[in-house]
Structure 1
Amino acid sequence: MDLAAASLAPLPGGHSGQTFLAEVAGERSVVRVYAESGPRGAAAAEVDAALLRLVRGLLPVPEVLELRRADPASGMPALLVTSYLPGVRCDLLLPDLDETGRRALGTRLGVLVADLGGMPQLGDGPFVDADLRVGTWERPEGLPELVADTRPELVAVADDAQALLDTVTRRVLVHGDLTPGNLLVDPDTLAVTGLVDWELAHAGHPFADLGSLLRFERDPVLTTAVLQGYAARRGTDPATALALAGAADLVALVELASRPGRHPDAERAERLLRAVARAGDPGAWTDPG
C-alpha cells in the first residue's frame, strides 16, 4: 500500500498504537502505527498480524493486507495494514435497540464469545512473538496473590473466585478486551461484522471474554440472550457461566481500576470492585455509571 498517496484520518480505540482510516482511490483500509512501546514490545505488530490470520474465517476480523516491521536505523515504527470492516460500534448501537433487537444481538454475541472460547491453547500467558508462543505473566498468577497487597478487602472473595475458576482447567484464546466498544454490528441485520483491537489477546481462562462483555452490562434482556447464546454453543448452564464470567473478570477489573489518572472505565471498575467487596461476591452489581 502506498501510504504516501493515502488519505489518513484518525480512528478511535486501541491501546498501544495509533489507528487510522486510510483511503486510496476509493478503497478503504485501516493502518495501525506501533509508535509506542506496549505490553508486547517490539513484537506487537507481528503478534497482532498472526492473531488475525489465525482466527480469520472463524471470527469476523479484518484481513491482514500488509505488515511492515520497524526499522531502527531510520526510526520508522512498525505498521499493520488491514481491511476496513463495516458496521457500527456495538456500544453506540445498543441504546437505540428495542427489546427484540437487544435479544437478537445478545444471542449473536453469546455465540461469538463461545466460538472464541473454543479455540484451545496449551498454556496460560501472553503471546510473545509471531509464532504465538505463550510466555509467562509478570503479575501474580492467582487471584488471591494479585489482590493480597493492594486490595486486602478482596482477599476472601478472591479465594472463592479462584476456587470456582479452578474447576475449569482448559485454556483458550482470549481477546482480552471483548467489550461492546470493540465490536462492530450491522445496524440493519444486527449481524456482528467485526471484533477489533486484539492488543490484549492472550492464552487464558475460557470465561474471561464473557466476563469482559458483561462487565458493565446488566440489561436483563441482553444479558439473558448472551448467556443463552453461549449455552447453546457450549452447553454451560447460564447461571454457572455468569458466575464463572464474574470470577474470571476480577483480574481485569483490578488492573483496570489501577489505571493512573481519572480514566472513566477505571472509575467504573473501582465502583464495581467496592460492590464486590461489600457483597463478598464477584458477580455483585452496582450501576457503574
Structure 2
Amino acid sequence: MDGYGLRPLAGGHSGETFLAEAAGERTVVRIYAERGRARGPEAPHVDAAVLGLVRGLLPVPEVLDVRRPDATTGAPGLLVTSFVPGERLDLLLPGLDETSRAAVGRSVGVVLGRLAMMPLPRPGLFVDGDLRVEPLPAGDLVDFVEAHRPGSALEQWADAAYDGLLQVADAAQQLLDAVRRTCLVHSDLNPKNLLVDPRTLAVTGVLDWEFAHAGMPVTDLGNLLRFDRDPAFAGAVLATYTEHVADAPDDVLDLARAADLYALVDLAARRTDNPVAERAHRRLAAIAASGDLHAED
C-alpha cells in the first residue's frame, strides 16, 4: 500500500490498519477487508459510533470519515480517524523503573475504571451505528468451553486435562453469576492497544475497538492483567480500578480472571494463529492443571 501513501501500522494481527500522510497531516485508515468484512457491512459504523460514545471520557481518535462497503464495486468498508500520539505501552513498559510502572499503572487504572462505569442496559453485541445490541449466544462458560473443543487445539488435550478445564470453567461461572451489572467493554484492552506519553506516563490513546460490546465490568481488567502481572504495575492498576468503580467487590481480581477465561479459551483453541494465541494456550493449560484461575505458565 506504500504507493498509495499508506503504511501498515505495527502491533496488530489483522493487517488492515494503515498510517496515511498527506499535506503534513497524519491519519489512520482502517480498511475492512478479510477480517473486517467478516463482521458484516455495519462494522465501520459500529466502530465509529463506539468512538463517538466514549470521546471526551477516554482518549480516543476523532472519526474523520466512515464508509460502508460497496457491494456493487466490491470496495471494502473504511474508517478514517485522527492520528493519536504516544508510545505503545507494550514497548514502553519493560524499560520503566518500579516507580514509573506504578505511575503508568494508575493511568491505565483510570481508563479501566471509566469504562467499567459506563452502564449499558443489557449485554450483547453491537449491530449497527445506533449501537443496538444483539443478545450474546445462549449458554454459560462451561457451554463455551464445550463449543470450542471440536476441531480446535483443545481437541488434542488429554481427557484429564480437559476435565480439569471444565471444572475450572464451572467454578468460574459460579463466581460470574454474581455479576449483575452491564457496561461498555473494550474486550481487547492490552498494552498493545494503549498509547502512553513517555514523559508524563499518561494514557494518550485507547485503540482498536473492534471487539467492543456490552458486557461485564470486570472483563477489561482481566484482559489487561492476563499476562502483565508485575506487582508495581498490576498493583497500581487494581488499586486505581477499585477506587474508581463504585461497586467493585473485594474479590474483583478473582472475577476478572474468571471473565478472562472466555478470551483465553477462544485464543487457546486457535493456538497456531499467532504468538498471543500460543501463549494463551500455555496459560490455559496451567490453569486447567492447577485448578487456579491465577496460575501462570
The question of whether the paired residues in 2 share the 8 Å contact of 1:172 and 1:206 is answered with yes
Cα-to-partner distance string for 1:256-288 (whole Å, 9 max, x where unaligned)? 1112625211111111111111221222223xx
Would you identify which runs of 4 or more consecutive aligned residues in structure 1 move more than 6 Å?
none
Structure 2 stretches lacking a partner, 5+ long: 150-161
Paired position in structure 2 for 1:202: 213
Q: RMSD value over aligned CA atoms?
A: 2.1
Q: Superposed, which structure 2 residues align to 1:125-144 within 5 Å? A: 125-138=124-137, 140-144=138-142
Distance of 2:119 and 2:280 partners within structure 1: 29
Cα offset, 1:141, TM superposition: 3.2
Cα offset, 1:6, TM superposition: 6.7
TM norm structure 2: 0.89
Per the alignment, do residues 247 and 112 of structure 1 end up closer, same or farther by CA in structure 2, a change over 3 Å counting? same
Distance of 1:230 and 1:238 partners within structure 2: 11
Structure 1 stretches lacking a partner, 5+ long: none
Paired position in structure 1 for 2:183: 172
Distance of 1:236 and 1:157 partners within structure 2: 25
Counterpart of 2:22, as a letter, is V
Cα-to-partner distance string for 1:62-88 (whole Å, 9 max, x where unaligned)? 000111222211111111110000000
Q: Superposed, which structure 2 residues align to 1:211-226 within 5 Å? A: 211-226=222-237
Determine which of 169, 190, 197 is the counterpart of 2:201.
190
Identity over aligned pairs, percent: 57
Distance of 2:145 and 2:206 partners within structure 1: 30
The question of whether the paired residues in 1 share the 8 Å contact of 2:68 and 2:77 is answered with yes
Determine which of 251, 265, 281 is the counterpart of 2:276.
265
Q: Superposed, which structure 2 residues align to 1:74-113 within 5 Å? A: 74-113=73-112
Counterpart of 2:101, as a letter, is R
Distance of 1:55 and 1:15 partners within structure 2: 24
Paired position in structure 1 for 2:240: 229
Distance of 1:173 and 1:17 partners within structure 2: 26
Paired position in structure 2 for 1:19: 17
Distance of 2:32 and 2:83 partners within structure 1: 18
Determine which of 240, 243, 246 is the counterpart of 2:257.
246
The question of whether the paired residues in 2 share the 8 Å contact of 1:247 and 1:283 is answered with no
Per the alignment, do residues 169 and 211 of structure 1 end up closer, same or farther by CA in structure 2, a change over 3 Å counting? same
Instruction: Describe the SS at the equivalent of 1:85.
Output: coil
Counterpart of 2:194, as a letter, is L
Cα offset, 1:10, TM superposition: 1.1
Per the alignment, do residues 196 and 94 of structure 1 end up closer, same or farther by CA in structure 2, a change over 3 Å counting? same
Per the alignment, do residues 14 and 123 of structure 1 end up closer, same or farther by CA in structure 2, a change over 3 Å counting? farther
Distance of 1:222 and 1:37 partners within structure 2: 33
Paired position in structure 2 for 1:41: 40
| Count of residue pairs the alignment pairs up | 283
Cα offset, 1:13, TM superposition: 3.9
Distance of 1:15 and 1:240 partners within structure 2: 33
Paired position in structure 1 for 2:155: none
The question of whether the paired residues in 2 share the 8 Å contact of 1:17 and 1:35 is answered with no
TM norm structure 1: 0.92
Paired position in structure 2 for 1:61: 60
Cα-to-partner distance string for 1:170-219 (whole Å, 9 max, x where unaligned)? 11110010000000000010010000000111111110000000011111
Cα offset, 1:17, TM superposition: 6.3
